[in-house]
Chains A and B, each alone.
Chain A
Amino acid sequence: MVDESTKKTLSSIPLLQTKAGPRDKELWVNRLKEEYQALIKYVQNNKAADNDWFRLESDKTGTKWFGKCWYVHNLLKYEFDLEFDIPVTYPTTAPELALPGLDGKTAKMYRGGKICLTDHFKPLWARNVPRFGIAHAMALGLGPWLAVEIPELIERGVITYQEKSEEAK
């Protein structure tokens, strides 16, 4: 099942209430507000725990999301572009998180850099519709994926550290 630290992270992210997808005009706006509130809280939690690891934003419709995520390995920070669409069947189906920059570099990915999630993700998501949102997908899907795959990719020499230009925080 999900490990203890993921469980703890997950439980401190507020749950969502509105069951609405991008085709549900006004209700979708409510859902989007909840998504943003949960994401803001999650990023605040991460900062407080000194474990800030991603930024996300969306277009006006809230259906296209993009941002960055990073992973620290041996004191070096590796950063990746992150993107995904909200499918018409959301929130019944989870968003398919993608790291296009790593497409073709690991077998734990589907086409376009969509990350391959564990067998536990889908059942857990299905049991928590509509309470889980994007923040939960990040905590339950992308976080553990990065923790397993990135060290391995670095070891294999597939990704190398790149010096930050100027906006290194």
Chain B
Amino acid sequence: MSTVAELQKKVKELEAQLAAVQGNAGPVRQKIDVMSSEVVDSNPYSRLMALKRMGIVNNYEKIREMSVAVVGVGGVGSVTAEMLTRCGIGKLILFDYDKVELANMNRLFFQPHQAGLSKVDAAAATLQNINPDVAIDAYNYNITTVDNFQKFCDTIRTGSLTGGPVDIVLSCVDNFEARMAINTACNELNQKWFESGVSENAVSGHIQFIVPGETACFACAPPLVVASKIDEKTLKREGVCAASLPTTMGIVAGFLVQNTLKYLLEFGTVSHYLGYSALTDFFPTMGLKPNPQCDDRFCRARQTEYKARPVVELATEVTEDLTPVHADNEWGISLVDENIPEEEDTSNLKLVDGVQVAYSVPVDSSTPESSTGGAVAASELSLEELMQQMKSM
């Protein structure tokens, strides 16, 4: 029989081994209660708090109160989550139902030893290690199914640090169905969110800021694509679904988090739409008005609410300088107001050059494409009878 002391020694050794295996062998950074702007080697926030001293951001430490939901923790979402973690975001909520695979290794963040783990759990562990001050919740499910969608909505509605709605939702998903699910949820919950995406040919991407009722929602128009200057006919799709590059994904994640920080900490201008074409280094930006005939009834309801609200006048400090800058005007140059009032009919999106809709949808959808099968007539059979008929075929 071993003595108690021997056993205790053995436990200590095993604990050390376990910690080494788990990768916690090195020094672990302790939690920090208040962000300090002290410039010392040991302060992980000194360079961020320097943004205040330089007058870029007024209230950087406010980021500690902010909660962000990241939907999709793949090539864009994982990098997005890491950036926010390093910035000291208060809370991160991660959603994904996929596992890490070796086929993901051309992208950033995940490492080969994590293959087989769920993306959200693998990401949460890495992020928590980078910054223990961030509260991280991980949800491993597909948000587009009926049951999970309700859970997703509830989490967005009550997931903040104070139990209220999150401050912003970031869509980093890779498919139309999930984007539409997020759009549906955010229109219903009146939740601001960013859509982001990288094209399947990996050479273009975009971000879009969606304020329900105020800017175009994801259902207001067919998906927007940045012109890639590639002839679709020459694009070879034989044998592959999608290509990806860590560069394009990193750039889009950077755009996404940059605009998220600007929105959360109220500095600079938040882009409503920012595109990126890798082949030509072209970055179109534009505003996007909602479509009054949007298919999503909650989008239309939010538009009505938005119109009913009084216009918010932004207070700006005005330092008046009464002396004309140029006393003479030899060339007769004058300023012309470019703010032409927007027309009410905005069903046709005013897209900037270089951005187009992926496909067109007929305005009048009541005329169906030719079908000799006609329309289904209301059946006298009950659903159960129809199910049975189908089963017995």
Contacts and interface: CB of A to CB of B under 8 A. Distances in A.
A34 B241 contact: no
A10 B371 CA distance: 8
B149 A88 contact: yes
Given A93-B176, A127-B369, A107 B239 contact: yes
A37 B241 contact: no
Interface in B349-376: 358-362, 365, 368-376
A51 interface: no
A29 B177 CA distance: 22
Interface stretch (A57-65, A68-76, A157-165): A57-65
Contact of A63 (B145, B237, B370): B145
Contacts of A107: 239-241
Nearest to B370: A11
Contact of B376 (A15, A22, A87): A15
Interface residues of B, number: 45
A108 B149 CA distance: 27
Interface in B140-155: 142, 144-146, 149
A122 B379 CA distance: 29
Interface stretch (B105-113, B161-169, B301-309, B383-391): B383-391
A41 B375 CA distance: 11
Given A14-B376, A109-B241, A122-B176, A127 B184 contact: no
B379 A14 contact: no
Interface in A37-55: 37-41, 43-44, 47, 55
B295 interface: yes
Contact of A92 (B180, B239, B379): B180
A22 B378 CA distance: 19
A105 interface: no
A17 interface: yes
B375 A92 contact: no
A14 B371 contact: yes
A26 to B, nearest CB: 11
B222 interface: yes
Contacts of A12: 371-373
A78 interface: no
A88 B188 CA distance: 13
A119 B232 CA distance: 10
A77 interface: no
23 contacts: A11-B371, A12-B373, A14-B375, A14-B376, A15-B373, A34-B376, A36-B390, A40-B390, A56-B390, A87-B144, A87-B177, A88-B144, A88-B146, A92-B295, A93-B177, A93-B180, A96-B177, A107-B241, A108-B241, A110-B175, A116-B241, A118-B237, A123-B359
Interface of B: 98, 142, 144-146, 149, 175-177, 180-181, 184, 219, 222, 232, 237, 239-241, 295, 358-362, 365, 368-376, 378-379, 381, 383, 386-387, 389-391, 393
